[in-house]
Homo-oligomer: A and B are copies of this chain.
Amino acid sequence: MIKNITQDQITLQIIKALKEGKQKEFQAIVEELQPYDIARIFEGLPKKHHTRFLFFLIPKQIAELIQELEKEHQLRVLNKLGIEQSGQVMDLMENDDLASLLENLSPDKIEKLLSGMKREESKIVQNIMNYPSETAGRMMTNRFVWIPQHYTVREAVDKLKVFAEFSETINYLYVIDNDKKLVGVVSYRDLIISDEFEKIQDIMYSRVISVSADTDQEEVARVIERYDFLSIPVVENNNELVGIVTVDDIIDVVLKEANEDIEKLSASGKAIDFNTKAHVAAYRRLPWLILLLFIGLVSGTIISGFEETLSKVVALAFFMPMIAGMTGNTGTQSLAVVVRGLITSDTNKGVVYKLIFRELKVGLIIGITCGILISIIAYIWQGNPVLGLVVGSSLVITLIIGTLAGTIIPLILYKFKIDPAVASGPLITTLNDILSLLIYFGIATMFISKLM
């Protein structure tokens, strides 16, 4: 009984069992643990115990363990096992996990690894790898239970008993006709509450919602989220059932997509987490910063173009950071609304025009409010009413333009099938910097005689 002890105590017991070579004790502990926890314990063990740890596990357990490890560790474990056993383990892994493990390896490494697998299993994996990444086809598993529509409830339950061990999820049973086409779905619950001699086709739900194999993973996530499904069937174009996508993969997609949006909006660089090494993190962030450095120099060139104006009225420089900053911020605000909105909403021309018009109005309200406020402040601070007007009217115009830029640029990128989040916060900010300086100094130069 290990149910009431802590992870640390479990780890100690496991080390003890490993040291003493007691596989039975080892198994008694491991059987009660979730794969995630086994993986964490494995990673925490001194390396010298790893070989025996793996030796004490059955292939099914190794398969589950591997799926919870980081990619680099996954390969290390597979290599440790040798071709034959690694083949057995890979046969038992979920196809989609295996495909994503293999995708970045060299062709001959893939071939070497696949050579240990059963032919039909390795074929399935290779098949999955043919779908573009981030599609339903790439995420699907073929470990699900399908039944012919002419089965009775009893026959279906019998088939389940045989297949339950191999299936990843058996919340729904998908029903197919003689051509392997998807014609219905029956939930586990339906089977349990139905009479055993009823025909599946009489109890099944026939308006099945499915996705096609080339559907983008974000769209798959949207469908599952919308309908609160636990899994969704994947079909080829002729409605032939080829796999299912399960909700646990969808949670990962939702998390990953959100993180990617945040990474891009903040230009924080791809995949930097708490464990990334400093030089790697710096290397990933630098390209953006250097690009922004040059764009920032464009701002500098604009200011230098207005050097005469600036040297006549140095006070103009006092309001530069405020105007540039505000314009950048309002652009980022619009950008965030658009980027997240595009993920959760359906878009058509009407929606887009309505959105642009809405943001124009937002820009107007924000611009006029802040413009009046800063006019008064600038007048009081510098005692110069013309300066107040120049600063205020510049802010009205730049805020409207900033809002529109933050709205329209991601929409244009989206239209051209470029991820709108690449118009990242800093890029919009820097662009708005440039525009706002042009407008501000332009207006100031127009009024220069009255400003002095």
Contact partners of A337 in chain B: CB under 8 A: 268, 272-274, 281
Contact partners of A205 in chain B: CB under 8 A: 32
Q: Which of B2, B230, B263 is close to A247, meaning CB atoms less than 8 Å apart?
A: B230
Max count, chain B CB within 10 A of own CB: residue among A171, A267, A281: A281
Contact with B along A417-452 (1 / 0, CB 8 A): 000000001100110010001000000000000000
| A320 CA / B310 CA spacing, docked (Å) | 13
A33 part of interface (Cβ distance < 8 Å):
yes
Could you tell me which residues of chain A, from 370 to 387, have a CB within 8 Å of some CB in chain B? 370, 373-374, 377
> In the bound complex, do residue B268 and residue A336 qualify as a contact, i.e. CB atoms below 8 Å apart?
yes
Number of copies: 2
Q: How far is the CB of A183 from chain B (nearest CB, A)?
A: 9
Query: Provided the pairs A297-B322, A425-B425 are in contact, do residues A336 and B263 lie with their beta carbons within 8 angstroms?
Result: yes
Contact partners of A261 in chain B: CB under 8 A: 258, 262
Contact partners of A358 in chain B: CB under 8 A: 276-278, 281
A228 part of interface (Cβ distance < 8 Å):
yes
Q: Which of B161, B206, B325 is close to A193, meaning CB atoms less than 8 Å apart?
A: B161
> In the bound complex, do residue B366 and residue A285 qualify as a contact, i.e. CB atoms below 8 Å apart?
yes
The size of the chain A interface, using a CB distance under 8 A, is 120
Q: Which of B164, B319, B333, B429 is close to A192, meaning CB atoms less than 8 Å apart?
A: B164
| A266 CA / B193 CA spacing, docked (Å) | 50
| A441 CA / B223 CA spacing, docked (Å) | 55
> In the bound complex, do residue A209 and residue B255 qualify as a contact, i.e. CB atoms below 8 Å apart?
no
| A252 CA / B225 CA spacing, docked (Å) | 7
Q: Which of B255, B297, B319 is close to A258, meaning CB atoms less than 8 Å apart?
A: B255
Contact partners of A171 in chain B: CB under 8 A: 171, 188, 230
| A250 CA / B230 CA spacing, docked (Å) | 12
Query: Provided the pairs A258-B255, A278-B362, A332-B426 are in contact, do residues A369 and B189 lie with their beta carbons within 8 angstroms?
Result: no
Contact partners of A269 in chain B: CB under 8 A: 333
Q: Which of B33, B273, B321, B329 is close to A300, meaning CB atoms less than 8 Å apart?
A: B321
Query: Provided the pairs A272-B337, A369-B286 are in contact, do residues A310 and B317 lie with their beta carbons within 8 angstroms?
Result: yes
A345 part of interface (Cβ distance < 8 Å):
yes
Max count, chain B CB within 10 A of own CB: residue among A164, A286, A292, A325: A325
